[in-house]
């Protein structure tokens, strides 16, 4: 499962599909997840705080990733990562949700209300939706070496302030937090900047 998909599932109730995280915090995290996916696949790279398409970029199969790559790759825009995160954050929740519906992870449910209708997006299988959280808690408490994609996930979850929620078992708080700090300190160059910048954008949300 892709980084942004897992973050989306972590931010929503695994049965009802209702959001459990403030929209702007979630938007920042999902935007970072989308950029992270492209950094991991080698399509984007960071240089001096700016975001650039890699010379060897190949159009990703996923439509959303392709769109993000295309717009970031357009040479007319300012390159700063912070600006891109704020920009992508505006529609990231909708974008990632659409992708999860297409992949069959979420279903679109229409319910009648007193006034008009309401759309909700519960997971097709709630066990599958709960899995990213359980998996992250487990790998953080076991303290085994993580693949880079999970390091990015852990870093972004920490930056969004979701770590305590993921480590739902009180006993695992302290060791899990230490493991997350170790992961954060060991992140490779580009994604370390991404995680730090995400923390900054989330802090900005808190301050404004």
Partner 1 sequence: MVKQLRAGHDLEKALAADRLGVASVVFTVMAAAAPLTVVAGTVPMAYAVTGNLGLPVAFVALGLLLGVFAVGYVAMSRHLPHTGAFYAYVTHGLGRVPGVAAAWVSLAAYNLLQVSLYGGIGAAVSPLVEQTAGIQLPWWVFALGAWALVGTLGRARVEVSSHVLAVLLVAEVVLVIVVDAAALAHPAAGLAGSAWSPAELFRPEAGAILALAVLGFTGFESAVVFAEECRHPRRTIPAATYLALAVIAVLYGVSSWAITVGIGPADVVATAREQGPDLVFTLAATHLGPAAATAGHALFATSILAAMISFHATTARYVFALGREGVLPGVFGRTCPTGAPRAGSGAQSVIGVAVILTVAVTGADPLVALFYTGAATGALGILILLVLAALAILGFFATDPRGEGSWRTRTAPVLAAVGLLAVLGLVLGNFATLIGVPEASPLRWGLPAAYAAVAAAGAVYALVLRTHRPDVFAVIGQGAKADLHHPVPVPA
Helix, coil or strand: residue 208: coil
The piece of 50-58, 107-115, 132-140, 160-168 that touches partner 1 (CB under 8 A) is 160-168
- By CB under 8 A, the count of residues binding partner 1 is 39
**Secondary structure (H, E, C), 26-38:** HHHHHHHHHHHHH
Distances (CA, A) of 134 to 18, 31, 40: 18, 22, 23
CB of 144 to partner 1, least distance (A): 26
Return the closest-CA partner of residue 72 out of 103, 55, 51. Answer: 51
Instruction: Give the nearest distance from C-beta 76 to partner 1 in angstroms.
Output: 7
Q: Which of these, 25, 6, 42, 23, lies nearest to 128 by C-alpha position? A: 6
Residue from the set 38, 159, 183, 187 that interacts with partner 1 by CB under 8 A: 159
From candidates 24, 36, 39, 97, binder to partner 1 by CB under 8 A? 24
Q: Give the C-alpha separation, 6 to 133, whole Å.
A: 8
The set of residues, in sequence order, having a beta carbon less than 8 Å from that of 131 and lying 6+ positions away, is 9
Rule CB under 8 A: is residue 118 a binding residue for partner 1? no
- End-to-end CA gap in the chain: 33
Q: By CB under 8 A, name the one of 3, 7, 21, 100 that touches partner 1.
A: 21
Segment contacting partner 1 by CB under 8 A, of 96-104, 120-128, 136-144, 194-202: 194-202
Residue 49 or 143 with smaller CB distance to partner 1: 49
Options 3, 4, 9, 11; binder of partner 1; rule CB under 8 A: 11
The least CB distance from residue 200 to partner 1, in Å, is 6
What does each C-alpha distance from 170 to 51, 114, 118, 167, 177 come to in angstroms?
A: 38, 41, 36, 7, 11
Answer for which of 83, 98, 149, 172 binds partner 1 (CB under 8 A) is: 83
Residue pointed to by tokens 């953080």 = 140
The binder of partner 1 chosen from 82, 101, 128, 130 (CB under 8 A): 82
* Residues binding partner 1 (CB under 8 A): 11, 20-22, 24-25, 49, 67-68, 70-71, 74, 76-78, 82-84, 86-87, 90-91, 159-162, 165, 193, 196-197, 199-200, 202-208
């Amino acid at each position: 499962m892709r980084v942004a998909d897992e973050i989306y599932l972590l931010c929503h109730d695994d049965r009802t599909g209702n959001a459990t995280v403030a929209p702007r915090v979630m938007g920042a995290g999902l935007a970072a997840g989308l950029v992270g996916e492209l950094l991991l696949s080698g399509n984007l790279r960071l240089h001096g705080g700016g975001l650039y398409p890699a010379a060897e970029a190949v159009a990703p199969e996923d439509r959303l990733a392709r769109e993000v790559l295309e717009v970031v790759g357009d040479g007319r825009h300012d390159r700063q990562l912070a600006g891109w995160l704020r920009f992508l954050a505006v529609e990231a929740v909708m974008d990632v949700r659409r992708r999860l519906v297409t992949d069959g992870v979420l279903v679109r449910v229409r319910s009648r209300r007193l006034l008009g209708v309401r759309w909700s997006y519960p997971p097709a299988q709630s066990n599958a939706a709960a899995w990213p959280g359980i998996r992250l808690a487990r790998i953080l408490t076991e303290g085994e070496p993580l693949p880079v994609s999970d390091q990015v996930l852990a870093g972004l979850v920490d930056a969004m302030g979701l770590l305590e929620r993921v480590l739902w078992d009180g006993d695992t708080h302290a060791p899990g937090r230490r493991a997350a700090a170790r992961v954060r300190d060991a992140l490779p160059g580009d994604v370390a900047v991404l995680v730090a910048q995400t923390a900054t954008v989330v802090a900005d949300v808190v301050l404004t």
